[in-house]
Amino acid sequence: MKKIRLPLDEKIISGLNAGDRVLLTGIIYTARDATHKRLTDCIKNKKKLPLELRNQTIYYTGPAPAKPKQIIGSCGPTTSSRMDEYTSALLGKSLKGMIGKGDRSKEVVSAIKKHKAVYFIAPGGCGALLSQTVKKCDLVAYGELGCEAIYKLEIKDFPAIVGIDCRGKNIYKKKNK
């Protein structure tokens, strides 16, 4: 199991191979459907993004509300393919990591290769387990979107698997060969 410190850099990314099991520690940002639409609209209209994407990692999740004294509610990954149409634009802004579940489109795989990024898979449906790795949660933007807002999460030893590496190797394709 490789221990990875976020934010990512070129050296870390090039050392990751599809199928590697990793534990992620550091900062990630949550974003799913509605947020992706807003972020890419910002890019299209040349408006300022509400966060700096350079070298950052986005986690596709819409957490359940936190109970009193809880940092975050259940927060497992959502289906990544719904974010496919927005992904190239974000990678163009130097986003380097994504965490979600399920396979990605051909276009996304090429964009990951082109921009030297990485796609991680988190255990699907394991929102209770993953919530235990979140040490801090702060609202960054789009609070009105509720669970779809952008939250900055500080995570420790978040378990994931490298799904698509920076050479475009894809674990979902590998297993069929």
Tokens 């796609």 -> residue: 119
115 is catalytic: no
Contact between 17 and another protein by CB under 8 A: the answer reads no
Nearest alpha-carbon partner for 8 in 110, 105, 119, 150:
119
Contact between 121 and another protein by CB under 8 A: the answer reads yes
CA distance 19 to 164: 8
| Active-site residue identified among 36, 38, 101, 104 | 36
What number of CA atoms fall less than 13 Å from residue 42's CA on the CB side? Answer: 16
Would you tell me the crossing angle of helices 84-91 and 33-44 to the nearest 10 degrees? 50
CA distance 29 to 45: 22
Contact between 173 and another protein by CB under 8 A: the answer reads no
Write the interaction track for another protein spanning residues 42-81; mark x where CB under 8 A is met and - where it is not.
Answer: -------------------xxxxxxx--x--xxxx-xx-x
Give the residues lining the site for another protein (CB under 8 A). 19, 21, 34, 61-67, 70, 73-76, 78-79, 81, 101-103, 121, 123-129, 131-132, 146-147, 159, 161, 171-172, 175-176
Q: Give the catalytic positions in this structure.
A: 36
